[in-house]
Structure 1
């Protein structure tokens, strides 16, 4: 057996005995949650894509966030539901570190897309709050107000996707799929496999570089969640200042609509606060504690069980918009009316004829 290959395929984590059963139950639960979350987001995007909603830069950015959420839920479902879309593992395969080729492909490229979409939604929410804060703080500045134009929202979405794709590629580019004809059983004994299986790994010559890049990537992941609460505080402060200015000028109707939109942005932004912290923490720890098995084990287990956070977060946007936005509620009514059965009223018309008498 190739000793180099033997050194490469080793476990960097040592989960406790209860982890496997808990992980199975968690997968089953999260798959059920995703059905509901995906359905809610389909309704959400059908409302956001109406012409009256697309004319607003805030809602255009929310379209981008919703698209990322839908892709995130699809990828999470594919990665975390092996007993629904793939053959159930055989008892002897439960402890294998290797995968079938389909699972290896799904794990490598599925997690790549998952990282891009999750990061993309967080950064879009961050920019949405940032642009809104500038718009409220400088209402008469023509250059700042351009940030509120719908076309600028499209460029922001494109820029975010490019940025998240490049940063994700930074840590995923060196991962490869390698064939194995051996593995370990549940007693950690090396065994020969009857058929070729596959592992996703980092070549040994790139391990040190990868560790540093993963730490940097972890900080990039956590950065939006660290900025979100600070930006939300500034947004609320600017909202109060703007409300005072309008009150002195005697304006009320327009102010209410502006305040509701700003509050909506604040709620959506703060909902992303805890979303990326577990994942970012995991990457930072994995990079800094490469050979510390207990610490790495904890850092891997936390983000795995935190995968329900994106589902709850993305599903909440529909309800937050219903509560905070009058325009959203009015548009939702028009969407739901399309599914109501038509009640054609039948009007009886009696024809009256006049008769002439001589």
Structure 2
């Protein structure tokens, strides 16, 4: 079935609405996450809060740079000074624009960092509930240990996406010109160093891009498994304490719903994007039927909708923390002078121990 002009208009309209909506969402998400980061820095002694700091930093960097790319695409800003005209360079080499590539690396790195730190949160919650008295678990959830986990996660994904830089070479532009080029006499006067990569070495980068859908899909499978185990443990705790601690049961029920909400948001934002990309790759590798072109257009449009879901998911982190953690709420109230002093003292405890579900307030 061939794509009609009306269908093309619909896809363009969906693209325009999705990108416009996502641009607004990105600005809102960046603002919310900066406020969220400020709150988390006051609560950085808790393991979960340290992981949330890493997630928030990754989201802020990702959406800031992505917003910057959108501004360039819509010609709100100009970036001509970043680019270099290498028209007469020999075909064996490809020009590397370092500023653009580094910014793109940051966007690529930020996404899996945010995802896998969320996975670590789910893992720590699950282990803390399953083995509340384990010394090994307690050591693993210390601030220093969690800080190493965050740095290790960042380091792994930085290496994963930037290792291609080992093939980058700095060359003198006049030395790599094709003398048969029509504009050789003009380009030979451009005396400066540039960064290039051999065309044969770019195949590694292409292969890595083919793995990207699976990089997104794997945590989408693992995260729900961890969540199901965690919810089962919380349900067991709720049954054991039902007769003596009804208030705790209510909070446990709320926490269970919030964890389930985070998992569903994660699966929608990352899982759908991964499945969509794998489907697109499968269609591109096939010989193609008459309806494949239209299906590719639909799937390509779906990527923009998935971007909206990812932005909404990043925005929700602040609100999830607010409703899940009494310590977070108390900090927000203090910031806005909403908390009245009734001679109460707050016992600070890490939210990593979900056996207690939330902080206790003692008179």
TM-score, length of structure 1 as denominator length = 0.67
Cα distance change on mapping 1:173 and 1:337 into 2, 3 Å? farther
**Is 1:243 equivalent to 2:238 in the alignment?**
yes
CA distance in 1, matches of 2:226, 2:32: 28
In structure 2, what is the equivalent of residue 151 of structure 1? 144
Q: 1:280 aligns with which of 271, 274, 279?
A: 274
- Number of corresponding residues: 295
Q: Which residue of 2 aligns with 1:72?
A: 62
How far is the alpha carbon of 1:277 from its aligned partner?
A: 2.7
Which of residues 120, 123, 131 is equivalent to 1:127?
A: 120
C-alpha displacement at 1:275, in angstroms? 2.5
Alignment correspondent of 1:215? 210
Query: Which residue of 1 is the match for residue 52 of structure 2?
Result: 62
Structure-2 separation of matches of 1:309 and 1:23: 14
- Which is worse superposed, 107-116 or 283-292? 283-292
Q: Is 1:282–1:299's contact at 8 Å kept on the other side of the alignment?
A: yes
* Equivalent pair of 1:211/1:287 in contact (CA under 8 Å): no
CA RMSD of aligned residues (A): 4.1
Inter-partner Cα distance in structure 2 for 1:21 and 1:104: 32
CA distances 1:162-217 after superposition (whole Å, capped 9, x unpaired): 122122235787799xx9xxxxxxxxxxxx9xx99xxxx99653465445433333
Structure 1 stretch 125-134 or stretch 214-223: which is displaced more? 214-223
User: Which of 77, 83, 104 is residue 86 of structure 1 equivalent to?
Assistant: 77
Cα 1:80–1:23 shift into 2, 3 Å: farther
Distance 1:87 1:75, change over 3 A: closer
Give me the whole-angstrom Cα distance separating, in 1, the residues matched to 2:300 and 2:271.
13
Deviation at 1:267, TM superposition (A): 4.1
1:163 — aligned with what?
Answer: 156
In 2, the alpha carbon distance for the partners of 1:305 and 1:100 equals 30
Distance in 2 (CA, whole Å) between partners of 1:292 and 1:175 is 35
C-alpha separation in 2, matches of 1:84 and 1:252: 58
Question: Equivalents in 1 of 2:104, 2:323: separation in Å?
Answer: 34
Please give the alpha-carbon distance, in whole angstroms, between the structure 2 residues aligned to 1:206 and 1:297: 30
- C-alpha distance 84-208 of structure 1, shift in aligned 2 (>3 A): closer
| Distance in 1, Cα, partners of 2:98 & 2:312 | 27
Instruction: Say which SS state the counterpart of residue 268 (structure 2) adopts.
Output: coil
**CA pair 37-276 structure 1, distance change in 2 beyond 3 A:** same
Structure with the greater alpha carbon radius of gyration: 1
CA separation of 1:169 and 1:292: change in aligned 2, threshold 3 A = farther
- Given candidates 19, 27, 40, the residue that maps to 1:48 is 40
Cα distance change of structure 1 residues 251 and 17 upon mapping to structure 2, 3 Å threshold: closer
User: Does the residue aligned with 1:306 lie in a helix, a strand or coil?
Assistant: helix
Gaps of 5+ in 1: 1-15, 90-98, 180-191, 339-358
Q: Equivalents in 2 of 1:150, 1:258: separation in Å?
A: 25
TM-score with structure 2 setting the length: 0.66
State the Cα deviation string for residues 106-147 of structure 1 (Å, max 9, x = none): 653332211111110110000110111011001121112222
Distance change in 2, residues 1:255/1:108 (3 Å) = same
| SS of corresponding position for 1:337 | coil
Q: What are the ranges of 5 or more consecutive residues in structure 2 without an aligned counterpart?
A: 1-6, 86-95, 174-182, 188-195, 339-363
What residue in structure 1 maps to residue 332 of structure 2? 332
Deviation at 1:67, TM superposition (A): 1.0
Task: Give runs of aligned pairs for residues 186-265 of structure 1, distance below 5 A.
Answer: 204-206=199-201, 209-247=204-242, 250=244
2:26 maps to: 34
What's the counterpart of residue 323 of structure 2? 323
Listed one character per residue, the Cα deviations across residues 51-78 of structure 1 (whole Å, up to 9, x for unaligned) are xx22211111111111111111101101
SS at match of 2:49: helix
